[in-house]
C-alpha cells in the first residue's frame, strides 16, 4: 500500500472536515484525529455545506477520484440526494498529457509508424479527460477521424487509487455513521466495475458498433463508424463528425433547430433503445450528444462516448415495459402485481401494501402540470421505497433511471413544455405491439425455425420415450412410491403430458406446413399437416379439460 498517497487522501478529507462520515455520538471522540491531520481546516471553512466539502475534496485528490464522484452521483439509491446533486457538478476536464507520449503510445498500440496510417494528426487534443484524450486526424485515404487514446500508465494509477479507496472505505464503514444506510465498500466495488469497463476501448468500440447497427440508415440517430483495423484495447479510431453540441442552445436557435421536435425525438430514441433493442447508451449527458443541423425541422441526433452502455436482464424488458404501461394507466394494483411476478420483491410481499406504497409515490406526480411529470423521478422514488420492501434493484435499472432522468432534464431545457406523458406512451405502446403482438410472434417463429428444424429428428424419439414412461410396468419400488401420489398429482402429470404432446404436434404441423409445397392439399393443408394439427387440437382439448 502507498502510505504517502493514503496520508494525502486522509489529510484532504480532514482538511475539508468531511465530518458526516463520522457518527454523531462519536464525533467528539474522533474530531481530534481530524485536527491532528489538518489543524486549521482552511479549505473546509470556505465551503457552505457538507456535500460541497466532499466534492471539493474529490477534486483535490485528482482525476480518478473525480471519476469516482461522477459515478457516485448516478447512484441516488446508495447516497443521500443532496450529496448526489452536488457530486453531479464534478467536471471530468483535466490537463492533456504531452503529444510526444501520446504519439509513442498510439504507434506502439497500432504496431506501425503513424505516418504509414495517417496523413496528419493534430497534436492539440480536441478533448482531454481523466481516462483518455482525443486527437483529430486524417487517414491515408482521406477519411477524417478522431483517435481516442488512454492516458499512459492510467491502469496502474487506477489500481493504486482503487486499493486505497477500498482501505478508506473499510475505515469509513468501521467508523461511519450507522444512521446513514450506505455501504462505502459496496460503492467502491461499483466504481471498480465501471472504471475498468472504461479502460477497455475495444469494448467501447463494440458498444458503438451495436448501436450503429441498430440505427443504420436512421434519420433520427447517427452513430459514427468505427474503424476496427485501427482499434486496440488502449486506442480507438472512429469517424469524425461535425455537429452542434446539444448544450449550445444559442447555436441551436441560430441554426433554426426545431427544439420541440428535438426534445421529443430524444425521448422516443431512449424508449426505442431500451424496449426495442434492449441495448442503450447509458451516459447521455450533454457533452456526448450533438445535433446535425442539415434538416432543422427534423433534426438528427448524433451520440458519442460509448464506454457505458446497458441492457436489461432476460425477461425484465417485458416486465419493465408492462410496469411503464401500468403507470401510464395509473393502475397501481397492476404495478404491485408485476413487481411480485417479476421477482423484484419477495414473494410473500402483500400486494395491498405494495399497491398503497406505489400509490403514495405516484399519485402526487399526476397532480402536477403535464410539463412537470418525470418518470425518472418516479423510478428514483421507487428506489427510495426499496428498503421497506426489500426491493432487489438491478444495476441495469440504475443505469436506465439515470439515463431517463438525463434525457428528461435535457428535453425540458430544450423545450420547457415537453409533454413526457404524450410523447412516451404512444411510442412504448407501439413497441409493445410489435414485440409481443402477432407481428412479434411471427418474427419469433422465423427466428427460431432453423433451431426447430434441427430438433425435428429428435421429436419422435422424445415422444416415444415419454409414452413409454406411461406403458412400462413399474418396479416394486415405484409401486410403493405410486401409492403415495394423490389423485391431484396424477391429474397434474397427465395435464403436463398432454400439454407437451400438444406443443410437439403443433411444432411438427408448423414445420411440415412450411416445408411441404408439392403434396396434394385439402383446405390449403397436406394430409400429414392435417393429422398433426388434429392431434395437437386433441391434446389441447385434453389439457384444458384436465385444468377445468
Residue positions annotated with a catalytic role: 283
Cα separations in angstroms, 366 against 3, 421, 487: 54, 10, 52
Q: Which distant-in-sequence residues (6+ apart) come within 8 Å of 81 by Cβ?
A: none
Q: Which distant-in-sequence residues (6+ apart) come within 8 Å of 147 by Cβ?
A: 106, 121, 134, 135, 136, 137, 235, 236, 237
- CA-to-CA distance for 332 and 326, rounded, in angstroms? 7
- CA-to-CA distance for 170 and 185, rounded, in angstroms? 6
By the 8 A CB rule, do 280 and 254 touch?
no
Report residue 335 as a C-alpha cell: 404495478
Residues in the chain: 548
Radius of gyration for the alpha carbons in the chain, expressed in angstroms and rounded: 30
By the 8 A CB rule, do 269 and 300 touch?
no
Report residue 431 as a C-alpha cell: 413497441
For residue 245, report the phi and psi dihedrals to the nearest 5 degrees. -60, 135
Dump strand ranges (E) for 241-362: 244-245, 280-281, 289-292, 300-303, 309-310
By the 8 A CB rule, do 365 and 381 touch?
no
Element (H, E) at 236: strand 235-239
Q: Which distant-in-sequence residues (6+ apart) come within 8 Å of 4 by Cβ?
A: none
Report residue 390 as a C-alpha cell: 426489500
Looking at the DSSP bridge assignments, the partners of residue 526 are: 521
Element (H, E) at 127: strand 127-128
DSSP state of 331: -
- CA-to-CA distance for 510 and 501, rounded, in angstroms? 14
DSSP state of 38: -
Cα separations in angstroms, 386 against 78, 166, 175, 344, 401: 11, 26, 25, 10, 14
Cα separations in angstroms, 220 against 216, 290, 433: 10, 12, 21
Alpha helix stretches (DSSP H) within 117-245 = 154-175, 184-198, 201-214
Amino acid at each position: 500500500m502507498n502510505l504517502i498517497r493514503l496520508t494525502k487522501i486522509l489529510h484532504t478529507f480532514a482538511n475539508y472536515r468531511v465530518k458526516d462520515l463520522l457518527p454523531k455520538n462519536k464525533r467528539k471522540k474522533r474530531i481530534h484525529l481530524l485536527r491532528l491531520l489538518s489543524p486549521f481546516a482552511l479549505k473546509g471553512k470556505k465551503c457552505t455545506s457538507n456535500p460541497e466539502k466532499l466534492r471539493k475534496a474529490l477534486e483535490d485528490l485528482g482525476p480518478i477520484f473525480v471519476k469516482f464522484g461522477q459515478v457516485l452521483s448516478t447512484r441516488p439509491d446508495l447516497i443521500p440526494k443532496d450529496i448526489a446533486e452536488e457530486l453531479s457538478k464534478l467536471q471530468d476536464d483535466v490537463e492533456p498529457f504531452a503529444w510526444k507520449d501520446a504519439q509513442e503510445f498510439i504507434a506502439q498500440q497500432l504496431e506501425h509508424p503513424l505516418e504509414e496510417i495517417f496523413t496528419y494528426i493534430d497534436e492539440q487534443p480536441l478533448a482531454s479527460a481523466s481516462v483518455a484524450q482525443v486527437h483529430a486526424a486524417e487517414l491515408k485515404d482521406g477519411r477524417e477521424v478522431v483517435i481516442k487514446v488512454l492516458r499512459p500508465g492510467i491502469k496502474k494509477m487506477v489500481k493504486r487509487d482503487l486499493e486505497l479507496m477500498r482501505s478508506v472505505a473499510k475505515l469509513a464503514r468501521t467508523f461511519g455513521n450507522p444512521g446513514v444506510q450506505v455501504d462505502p465498500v459496496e460503492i467502491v466495488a461499483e466504481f471498480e466495475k465501471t472504471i475498468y469497463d472504461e479502460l477497455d476501448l475495444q469494448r467501447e468500440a463494440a458498444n458503438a458498433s451495436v448501436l450503429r447497427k441498430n440505427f443504420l440508415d436512421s434519420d433520427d440517430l447517427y452513430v459514427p463508424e468505427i474503424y476496427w483495423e485501427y482499434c486496440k484495447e488502449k486506442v480507438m479510431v472512429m469517424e469524425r463528425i461535425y455537429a452542434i453540441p446539444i448544450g449550445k442552445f444559442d447555436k441551436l436557435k441560430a441554426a433554426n433547430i426545431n427544439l420541440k421536435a428535438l426534445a421529443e425525438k430524444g425521448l422516443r430514441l431512449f424508449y426505442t433503445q431500451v424496449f426495442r433493442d434492449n441495448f442503450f447508451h447509458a451516459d447521455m449527458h450533454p457533452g456526448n450528444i450533438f445535433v446535425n443541423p442539415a434538416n432543422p425541422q427534423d433534426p438528427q441526433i448524433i451520440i458519442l462516448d460509448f464506454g457505458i452502455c446497458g441492457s436489461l436482464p432476460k425477461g425484465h424488458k417485458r416486465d419493465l415495459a408492462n410496469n411503464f404501461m401500468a403507470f401510464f394507466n395509473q393502475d397501481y394494483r397492476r404495478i404491485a402485481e408485476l413487481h411480485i411476478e417479476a421477482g423484484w420483491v419477495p414473494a410473500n410481499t402483500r400486494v395491498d401494501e405494495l399497491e398503497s406504497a406505489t400509490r403514495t409515490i405516484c399519485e402526487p406526480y399526476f397532480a402536477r402540470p403535464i410539463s412537470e411529470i418525470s418518470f425518472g423521478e418516479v423510478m428514483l422514488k421507487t428506489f427510495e421505497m426499496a428498503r421497506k420492501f426489500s426491493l432487489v434493484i438491478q444495476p441495469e435499472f440504475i443505469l436506465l433511471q439515470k439515463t431517463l432522468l438525463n434525457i428528461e432534464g435535457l428535453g425540458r431545457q430544450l423545450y420547457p413544455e415537453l409533454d413526457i406523458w404524450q410523447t412516451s406512451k404512444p411510442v412504448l405502446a407501439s413497441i409493445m405491439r410489435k414485440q409481443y403482438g402477432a407481428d412479434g410472434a411471427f418474427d419469433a417463429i422465423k427466428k427460431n425455425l432453423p433451431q426447430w428444424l434441427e430438433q425435428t429428428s429428435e421429436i419422435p424419439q422424445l415422444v416415444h420415450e415419454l409414452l413409454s414412461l406411461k406403458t412400462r410396468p413399474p418396479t416394486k419400488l415405484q409401486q410403493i412410491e405410486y401409492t403415495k401420489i394423490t389423485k391431484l398429482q396424477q391429474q397434474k402429470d397427465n395435464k403436463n403430458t398432454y400439454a407437451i404432446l400438444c406443443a410437439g404436434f403443433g411444432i411438427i404441423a408448423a414445420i411440415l406446413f412450411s416445408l411441404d409445397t408439392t403434396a396434394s392439399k385439402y383446405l390449403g393443408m397436406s394430409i400429414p399437416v392435417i393429422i398433426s394439427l388434429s392431434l395437437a387440437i386433441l391434446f389441447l382439448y385434453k389439457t384444458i379439460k384436465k385444468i377445468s
